[in-house]
């Protein structure tokens, strides 16, 4: 059916133009700002800085810390949301009484803003929070409240735990969807051959889910680099930079210290990590993909 | 582990379980049930405990007693007025509605064209826009902020709407194009043969069929716009008249230790609207989640 190019352009044009102006150009501009020394707002004041921001980045101790924290955060939370998501998907796949309740419970955190998640966990772990109540007055194992967000190690673990809590449900749903297409006969054949549940998991279920694992892991990695709100509200990168991630450091550099050039160099690194993480799909999915 | 074992054993079918029904199997299923309920309750503990916190009186919030010894529902009224939740919720609702309308309108037409009139150009544009799914918001926030200041949109809700719609666009196009691919082109072609313009064929034949996909996209953009923090944080300088997320985060920073009861109540009031929408529309959520995941 003939359609003139004008009509096609009218359908596609607005979205493409909008995408270009409000997403593509800002990202490209950030890649460009990384080569300048600039305090923001008036572009006329920007001066060329060459690779200056990148060399500064390499020797910046906080940047190195933020990079290590970001990588650790993304990798550890991805591993846990996948293991927990898959285990819970297998659990609800039993379709026993109560599986629907678990499904609904796992849905709830997916609707929450990371800001709300941060507030919930702040109160849960606060000096008079649920965890300290249980440790102090129910179990009586601590005589003074544990300061989860005041201790560098515990604060970092808390950030990861809150992330896992929020996103494990999404992975559970995706793995559950993947399990629905597993042919029943294959499971029964393996059972008749005397395969125990562990070898059925290893040789039947996991190979079947391999493409699902590949996309889910890629999604988790891409989502992981986006972390900002949770850390900003829960810890502000503290105590003593122990939870500083690239995006919170970028925010500080850009909006508190007005080092737009330096902040944009951090943006380049985040972009690079996001792009690289899409390359994990192929090896995980295997040759047939 | 027995429950997981059961999950592999059952593989989603009830028949095989029934065939092998025995007392050992019954015990396993009971254990799996208990695990489901137990994990479900533990999972919701952070939320449930904050519900109990939200009705505690001033002295009761600072105690190590797990269950409240006071009941003060007035916390909700006080929190609503003290933190100006009316304004904050209204702003969030306005931004969400604007972002949904804008990005649905643009993505549904573009996705239709990219599905129906495939060429190397439309395919290339589609892949280009999909790259937007990967962009961490922090990487584009500085230039976006500069553009908004220069356009005079700084400190305006419009700036936030423009940003949220930009983030919603790629997912919208991805979900909608996948859905339109499965609608037979003969339907719109028939309308064209009867003399309808391409626009009327789209508007009167295709669009009504797209309702579930549009609902999915609207749900995802509602969640991301309502819950977003970075854009309003940067673009709206006054936290007390910003969105619910920024206002709440700022109040927690200021009053979090002093008035936990009030802030717990405020957080729950911030959650209720979006949770209600989400739960009512959750069947659309799974579809979108796997559309985003299973397409390349």
Mean pLDDT check: name the lowest of A195-199, B27-31, B47-51, B286-290: B286-290
Q: How far is B50 from chain A (nearest CA, A)?
A: 7
- Please indicate, yes or no, whether residues B163 and B268 belong to a single structural domain of this protein: yes
Q: Does A26 touch chain B (CB under 8 A)?
A: yes
Chain A hits for B120, Cβ within 8 Å: none
Q: Is residue B206 part of a domain?
A: yes
Please count the structural domains in chain B. Answer: 2
Q: Is residue B68 part of a domain?
A: no
Identify the structural domains of chain A with CATH numbers, from first to last.
17-285 (1.10.3720.10)
Q: Is the pTM of this model over 0.80?
A: yes
- Determine contact, residues A81/A171, Cβ cutoff 8 Å: yes
Interface pTM, i.e. ipTM: 0.88
- Please indicate, yes or no, whether residues B261 and B144 belong to a single structural domain of this protein: yes
Give whichever of B48-57, B89-98, B181-190, B285-294 has the largest mean pLDDT.
Answer: B89-98
Question: Could A115 and B279 be called an inter-chain contact, meaning their C-beta atoms sit closer than 8 Å?
Answer: no
Chain B hits for A99, Cβ within 8 Å: 32, 36
Q: What percent of chain B has pLDDT over 90?
A: 41
Closest CA to B137 of B234, B250, B223, B219: B234
Question: Could A19 and B169 be called an inter-chain contact, meaning their C-beta atoms sit closer than 8 Å?
Answer: yes
Q: Is residue B277 part of a domain?
A: yes
pLDDT digits (tens, 9 = 90+) for B200-249: 888 888 899 999 899 999 999 999 999 999 999 999 988 888 999 999 99
- Please indicate, yes or no, whether residues B108 and B238 belong to a single structural domain of this protein: yes
Q: Is residue B247 part of a domain?
A: yes
- Please indicate, yes or no, whether residues B119 and B39 belong to a single structural domain of this protein: no
Burial class (CB in 10 A: 0-12, 13-18, 19+), B268: buried
Q: How far is B213 from chain A (nearest CA, A)?
A: 17
- Determine contact, residues A255/B230, Cβ cutoff 8 Å: no
What CATH number does residue B94 fall under? Answer: 1.10.3720.10
pLDDT above 70: residue B17: no
Q: Is residue B71 part of a domain?
A: no
- Please indicate, yes or no, whether residues B11 and B126 belong to a single structural domain of this protein: no
Q: Does B13 touch chain A (CB under 8 A)?
A: yes
- Please indicate, yes or no, whether residues B29 and B124 belong to a single structural domain of this protein: no
Can you give chain B as a three-state secondary structure string? CHHHHHHHHHCCCHHHHHHCCCHHHHHHHHHHHHHHHHHHHHHHHHHHHHHHHCCCCCCHHHCCCCCCCCCCCHHHHHHHHHCCHHHHHHHHHHHHHHHHHHHHHHHHHHHHHHHHCCCHHHHHHHHHHHHHHHCCHHHHHHHHHHHHHHHCCCCCHHHHHHHHHHHHHHHHHHHHHHHHCCCCHHHHHHHHHCCCCHHHHHHHHHHHHCHHHHHHHHHHHHHHHHHCCHHHHHHCCCHHHCCHHHHHHHHHHHHCCCCHHHHHHHHHHHHHHHHHHHHHCHHHHHHHHHHHHHCC
Q: Is residue B105 part of a domain?
A: yes
Closest CA to B142 of A43, A224, A67: A43
Radius of gyration, CA atoms only, chain A: 24
Chain B hits for A24, Cβ within 8 Å: 128, 132
Q: What distance, in Å, lies between the first and last C-alpha atoms of chain A?
A: 35
Buried b (16+ CB within 10 A) or exposed e, A63-89: bebbbebbeebbebbbebbbebbbbbb
What residues 50-109 of chain B have any CB closer than 8 A to a CB of chain A? 50, 53, 61-66, 105-107, 109
pLDDT above 70: residue B12: no
pLDDT given for residue B151 in this prediction:
87
Q: Is residue B72 part of a domain?
A: no
Q: Is residue B6 part of a domain?
A: yes
Give whichever of A42-46, A250-254, B55-59, B284-288 has the largest mean pLDDT.
Answer: A250-254
Confidence of residue A142 (pLDDT cuts 50, 70, 90): confident
Chain B hits for A8, Cβ within 8 Å: 113, 117, 122
Mutate to test the interface with B, among A6, A21, A26 (most CBs of B within 10 A): A26
- Please indicate, yes or no, whether residues B91 and B226 belong to a single structural domain of this protein: yes
Which residue shows structure tokens 């005041």? A150
DSSP letter, residue A243? T
Find how far residue A231's CA is from the centre of its chain: 12
Mutate to test the interface with B, among A70, A94, A228 (most CBs of B within 10 A): A94
Select the more confidently predicted residue: B232 or B130: B232
Question: Could B13 and A22 be called an inter-chain contact, meaning their C-beta atoms sit closer than 8 Å?
Answer: no
Could you list the residue range(s) of the whole structural domain that residue B210 is in? 79-294
Chain A to chain B Cβ contacts (< 8 Å): 333
Structure tokens belonging to residue B248: 């709440």
- Please indicate, yes or no, whether residues B249 and B159 belong to a single structural domain of this protein: yes
pLDDT digits (tens, 9 = 90+) for A24-66: 999 998 888 888 888 877 777 777 888 888 988 989 999 999 9
Tally of CB atoms within 10 A around A14 = 17
Interhelix angle B2-10/A61-92, nearest 10 degrees: 60
Tally of CB atoms within 10 A around A154 = 17
């Amino acid at each position: 059916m003939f359609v003139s190019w004008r009509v096609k352009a009218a359908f596609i044009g607005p979205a493409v133009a909008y995408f270009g102006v409000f997403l593509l150009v800002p990202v490209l501009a950030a890649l460009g700002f990384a080569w300048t020394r600039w305090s923001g707002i008036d572009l006329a004041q920007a001066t060329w800085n060459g690779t200056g921001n990148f060399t500064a980045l390499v020797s910046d101790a906080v940047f190195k810390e933020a990079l290590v924290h970001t990588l650790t955060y993304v990798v550890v939370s991805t591993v846990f949301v996948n293991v927990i998501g898959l285990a819970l998907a297998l659990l609800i796949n039993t379709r026993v009484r109560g599986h629907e309740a678990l499904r609904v419970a796992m849905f709830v955190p997916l609707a929450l803003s990371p800001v709300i998640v941060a507030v919930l966990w702040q109160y849960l772990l606060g000096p008079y929070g649920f965890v300290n109540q249980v440790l102090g007055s129910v179990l009586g194992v601590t005589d003074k409240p544990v300061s989860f967000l005041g201790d560098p190690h515990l604060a970092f673990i808390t950030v990861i735990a809150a992330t896992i809590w929020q996103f494990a449900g999404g992975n559970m749903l995706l793995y559950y969807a993947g399990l629905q297409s597993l042919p029943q006969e294959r499971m029964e054949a393996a059972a008749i051959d005397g395969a125990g549940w562990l070898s059925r998991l290893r040789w039947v279920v996991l190979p079947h889910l391999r493409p699902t694992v590949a996309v889910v892991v890629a999604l988790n990695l891409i989502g992981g680099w986006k972390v900002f709100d949770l850390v900003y509200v829960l810890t502000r990168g503290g105590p003593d930079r122990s939870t500083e991630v690239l995006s919170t450091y970028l925010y500080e550099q850009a909006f508190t210290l007005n080092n737009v050039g330096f902040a944009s160099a951090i943006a380049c690194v985040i972009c690079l990590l996001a792009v690289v993480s899409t390359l994990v799909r192929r090896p995980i999915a295997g040759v047939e993909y | 582990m027995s429950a997981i074992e059961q999950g592999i054993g059952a593989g989603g079918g009830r028949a095989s379980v029934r065939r092998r029904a025995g007392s050992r199997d019954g015990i396993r299923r009971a254990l799996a049930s208990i695990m489901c309920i137990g994990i479900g309750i533990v999972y919701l503990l952070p939320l449930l405990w904050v519900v109990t916190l939200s009705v505690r009186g001033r002295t009761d919030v600072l105690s190590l007693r797990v269950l409240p010894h006071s009941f003060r529902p007035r916390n909700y009224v006080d929190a609503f007025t003290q933190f100006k939740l009316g304004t904050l919720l209204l702003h969030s609702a306005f931004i969400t509605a604007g972002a949904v309308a804008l990005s649905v309108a643009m993505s549904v037409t573009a996705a239709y064209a990219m599905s129906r009139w495939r060429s190397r150009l439309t395919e290339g544009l589609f892949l280009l826009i999909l790259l937007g799914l990967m962009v961490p918001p922090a990487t584009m926030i500085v230039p976006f902020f500069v553009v908004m200041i220069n356009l005079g949109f700084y400190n305006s809700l419009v700036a936030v709407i423009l940003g949220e719609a930009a983030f919603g666009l790629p997912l919208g196009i991805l979900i909608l194009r996948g859905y339109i691919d499965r609608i037979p082109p003969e339907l719109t072609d028939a309308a064209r043969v009867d003399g309808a313009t391409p626009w009327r064929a789209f508007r009167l034949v295709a669009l009504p069929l797209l309702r579930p996909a549009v609902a999915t996209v609207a749900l995802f953009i509602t969640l991301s716009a309502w819950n977003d923090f970075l854009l309003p944080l940067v673009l709206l300088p006054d936290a007390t008249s910003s969105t619910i997320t920024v206002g709440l985060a700022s109040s927690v920073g200021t009053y979090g230790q002093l008035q936990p009861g009030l802030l717990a109540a405020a957080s729950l009031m911030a959650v209720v609207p979006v949770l209600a929408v989400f739960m009512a529309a959750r069947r659309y959520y799974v579809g979108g989640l796997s559309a985003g995941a299973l397409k390349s």
